[in-house]
């Protein structure tokens, strides 16, 4: 069991300071989802955000540093071997405005007013229960992703709130330009 909130990660046998605030973790998630970045650029962005003194880690330690970064982002959980991911039900960037209020409720404070360790934020996120807008959005997304039929109330709600429920596709600037030229963007 891990009782402490880590402020460092062990890479190449040495403790390396990390950016443990939830905003840094969300910045990493945004970089990893950015269609403009190549795989190498996403890796470098994640490492630069996570490790404020990345220059102190030799390049041969970057793979381990990235694995430790992902372990941290996963709340200290090891990824289950052979498990298949379920349908994508949320997007940190798109959903953040609807995640903040229930996280604030769980934590009993305004999370945007000061630092908050990523694991504290993540624990509060996991405790978001029914009755809030975000849980309604995720419930409808889950039903749609699994091909389940929505009841009349959910169908009506989805029609009125489709822009909240539908996960937006992220396009590269080239794709956006092409859509503009075709009149779709």
Handedness of CA 113, 7, 5, 74 (dihedral sign): positive
- pLDDT at position 2, please? 75
Is residue 31 within 8 A of residue 42, CB to CB? The reply is yes
Structure tokens at 112: 């945007």
pLDDT tens digits along 89-128: 999 999 999 999 999 999 999 999 999 999 999 999 999 9
Is residue 46 within 8 A of residue 69, CB to CB? The reply is yes
Place of tokens 């220059």: 55
- pLDDT at position 80, please? 64
- pLDDT at position 185, please? 53
Query: Is 157 a residue whose pLDDT tops 70?
Result: yes
- Tally Cβ neighbours within 10 Å of residue 69: 24
- pLDDT at position 82, please? 64
């Amino acid at each position: 069991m891990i009782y402490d909130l880590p402020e460092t990660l062990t890479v190449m046998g040495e403790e390396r300071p990390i950016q443990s605030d939830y905003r840094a973790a969300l910045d990493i998630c945004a970089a990893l989802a950015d269609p403009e970045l190549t795989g190498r650029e996403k890796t470098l962005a994640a490492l630069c955000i996570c490790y404020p003194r990345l220059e102190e880690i030799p390049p041969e330690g970057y793979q381990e540093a990235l694995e430790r970064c992902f372990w941290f982002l996963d709340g200290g959980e090891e990824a289950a071997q052979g498990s298949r991911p379920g349908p994508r039900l949320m997007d940190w960037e798109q959903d953040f405005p609807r995640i903040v209020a229930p996280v604030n409720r769980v934590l009993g404070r305004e999370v945007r007013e000061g630092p908050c360790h990523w694991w504290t934020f993540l624990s509060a996120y996991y405790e978001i229960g029914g009755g809030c807008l975000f849980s309604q959005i995720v419930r409808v997304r889950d039903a749609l992703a699994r091909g389940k039929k929505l009841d009349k109330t959910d169908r009506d709600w989805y029609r009125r709130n489709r822009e909240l429920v539908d996960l937006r596709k992220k396009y590269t600037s080239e794709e956006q330009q092409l859509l503009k030229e075709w009149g779709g963007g």
